[in-house]
Structure 1
């Protein structure tokens, strides 16, 4: 087996597995969303700055072009909606809905940069939309609907960021995460109470923002450069499978039957789609 391929596969897999702890740690931090988001944004900006200074010495960290600004804004929206969604619905619902972002990306890419997708992709989109609708079916008359819709728009914002970055793939858009983190932190000052954390919350928050998110970010940045995009999409489904499982094990939040059924449909659809595209 090609050693570079194996390296990319293992790095991406490890990065996604580390990222699977994200939702669990958000659940364990007992503060409202914006109080957590202040530190998540600030520390993400700091850690990415250190990474960029190490990996790309001498390169600027901030740019004033629209591609950079769009990338930062889309990721800021995604970050805020992800944390807020975790606070308003089940982790399983959030991760299943967001897992369809590669298919959202296909729609956005077709509309805004004229990128055509294969017929199999549009079939996968229709099936996945049905799966997401099934996950959300019990939420229409419950408070969970707000969280499910946040997760849906989070997936769309993340897809928009990926399409934006792909449109300027000759550039390294990693520094946009710095501006994004600072933007999230700035917004959170007005809506949260950053010093409201107490006791164990500080430990969970530091574990999340200084270790889990940066390590996952570095691994998921390096790994996908060595394997195909279809394989990256398949490996990202590890978070959809492992995230709810970790929450179930550690804090006994059991996924609903609809989340399991709809999630299985979405994951199987994406796996088959990724396999077909990879074979071609």
Structure 2
């Protein structure tokens, strides 16, 4: 396997595994959504800034060009949507819906980057979409459709970010997370008092915003520099399997039957696709 492809795959897989704890920690935090988003943004910015100054001291931190601004805004949109969706619908539903990012990324990359995904990737995407549609049918009957809508918006935002970062793969887009966090914190501060938190919430917020999010998104941001955007998004499906598992084990939130069925189709397709792509790499 090509060294750069392997490095991109490993970076992304590790980042997604760390990120799979995101939904559980959001559920453990009782704070208002905007209060959580404030700390999610401000602490993420701080940690990523420290990381950039430590490991890339010679590089200019922020280059406020169009690519950097797009990456930051798209990440902020996806973060707002993700936190809101997790608060009002089931974790499994949110993560399965977000797993639609491969389809959206492949379409956007085809349109804007002229990047052609192999037929096997398109077949996998459409099978995954069938599983996601099966999951969505539960929302119409459970009264949680608004949460599903926010999950769809998160999917669109993160897909567009992947494609944007892939287009700018000649440079490190990690500093865009600093700007994204600032945008999130400034907007959220206008809607909630982020300093009114239960003592236990501080522990979970530090774990989420200082450890999980910076580590995960630094790794995931580096992935598109080495592998196609659609394949980065395919690896994001790992969160669909692991995220509900942690919530199930810790909070005893059992996913709906349709979510388990559709999610199983998505995960099996992901594993099969990854195996076939691995075997075809030169």
Same fold, judged at TM 0.5 (above): yes
Is 1:159 matched up with 2:159?
yes
Q: What is aligned with 1:206?
A: 206
Q: In structure 2, do the counterparts of structure 1 residues 120 and 2 end up closer, same or farther at CA, with 3 Å as the change threshold?
A: closer
Q: Is the Cα–Cα contact under 8 Å of residues 169 and 225 in structure 2 kept in the other structure?
A: no
| Conserved? CA contact 2:21–2:212, under 8 Å | yes
Query: Is 1:23 aligned with 2:23?
Result: yes
Q: Given that residues 19 and 213 in structure 2 are in contact (C-alpha distance below 8 angstroms), is that contact kept between their aligned partners in structure 1? A: yes
* 2:90 equivalent to 1:69: no
Structural mapping, 1:256-271, within 5 Å: 256-271=256-271
Q: CA RMSD of the aligned region, Å? A: 2.6
Partner of 1:34: 34
Instruction: Give 1:209 shift.
Output: 0.7
Q: Which consecutive residues of structure 1, in runs of 5 or more, have no partner in the other structure?
A: none
Q: What are the within-5 Å matches in structure 2 for residues 113-152 of structure 1?
A: 113-152=113-152
CA contact (8 A) 1:234 1:271 kept: no
Q: TM-score, normalised by structure 1?
A: 0.89
Alpha-carbon distance change, 166 to 227 in structure 1, aligned in 2, over 3 angstroms? closer
What is the total number of aligned residue pairs between the two structures?
280
Residue 237 of structure 1: aligned partner: 237
Matched, 1:248 2:253: no
Name the TM-score, length of structure 2 as normaliser. Answer: 0.89
- How far 1:230 sits from its partner (Å)? 8.0
What residue ranges of structure 2 are gaps of 5+ in the alignment? none
Distance, in Å, in 1 between the alignment partners of 2:111 and 2:4 is 34
Task: Name the SS of the counterpart of 1:191 in structure 2.
Answer: coil
Q: Which residue of 1 aligns with 2:175?
A: 175
For 2:65 and 2:7, locate their aligned partners in 1 and report how far apart those are by CA, in whole Å: 34
